Amino acid sequence: MAHYAIGDIQGCHAEFRQLLDLIGFSPSADRLWLVGDLVNRGPDSLAVLRDVKALGEAAVTVLGNHDLHLLTVAAGHRRAHRDDTIDAILAAPDRDELLDWLARRPLAVVEGDAMMVHAGVLPGWTPATALMLSREVEAKLGSDDAHRFLGVLYGDEPAAWRDELAGDGRLRAIVNAFTRLRFCAADGRMEFREKRGREHAPEGFRPWFAHDHRRTAHMLVVCGHWSTLELELAPNVLMLDSGCLWGGTLTAVRLPDRRVIQVPSRSPVTPKPFG
């Protein structure tokens, strides 16, 4: 059995299918980890959702910020952006089935000595803490209160994690850390405005994975989101958003031997909007 992790797909269906063909993926024998942002901005988000859902237990995916954007738009709490490509999902006959499936994806997955999230993990969180906090949000999104919660999901506050946080603020901070994090302070303060590379770290902040006493440093953390880093393959962090949407590549890494497999984007090379 082979185990692969694939970076942000964002509706790039043709590249996703090509990558699966290239690695010879077999749903009956192999496993996929998908780091979130299955949808949006690319040309065929609907096909990506349908294909990943059809893979069943062979594919494990976490929620990304674009996946949550789709859920909030579908719930009527936000309007689609001009460059969104989610209309086909919202008009699909299997819309409700797909959205329900998506809403039930976790924010963090831990298996053995490996963890998957979309964006990052705060330095003070242990793997057990991260899994517990992910399950708090999963429970909310799977509850009768999910529609209301999606309406208060967005916002930068609380800007710092504290264990005593409660209610919507606590859940919002959890979602922000797992799906938006780039820079943070060692004490759990998060900074969301700067979206460029590590050399642009605001004063007092570092990339989330660069803190000396990060409590997940002993594990392999597989993630995406930070496309301006292109592809970051460190001993204990695999950041797999290699910018397929922007004319880069779609990347798979075979675990545990770290073999990298890529297919080129079919989109023209365009500047990243840092969003």
Mean pLDDT for the stretch of residues 75-102: 96
pLDDT tens by residue, 198-217? 899 999 999 999 999 999 99
pLDDT at residue 230 in the model:
79
* Domain residue extents for the chain: 3-264
- pLDDT tops 60 at residue 264: yes
Q: Under a CB-based contact definition with an 8 Å cutoff, are residues 42 and 245 in contact?
A: yes
Number of CB atoms found within 10 A of residue 41's CB: 21
Task: Output helix, strand, coil percentages for the chain, rounded to the nearest 5.
Answer: 35, 20, 45
Phi then psi for residue 270, to 5 deg, are -135, 150
pTM above 0.75, yes or no: yes
CATH superfamily of 3-264: Metallo-dependent phosphatases (3.60.21.10)
**Summary mean pLDDT of the chain:** 95
pLDDT tens by residue, 147-183? 999 999 999 999 999 999 999 999 999 999 999 999 9
pLDDT at residue 221 in the model:
98
Distances (CA, A) of 176 to 161, 194, 241: 10, 14, 18
pLDDT at residue 262 in the model:
97
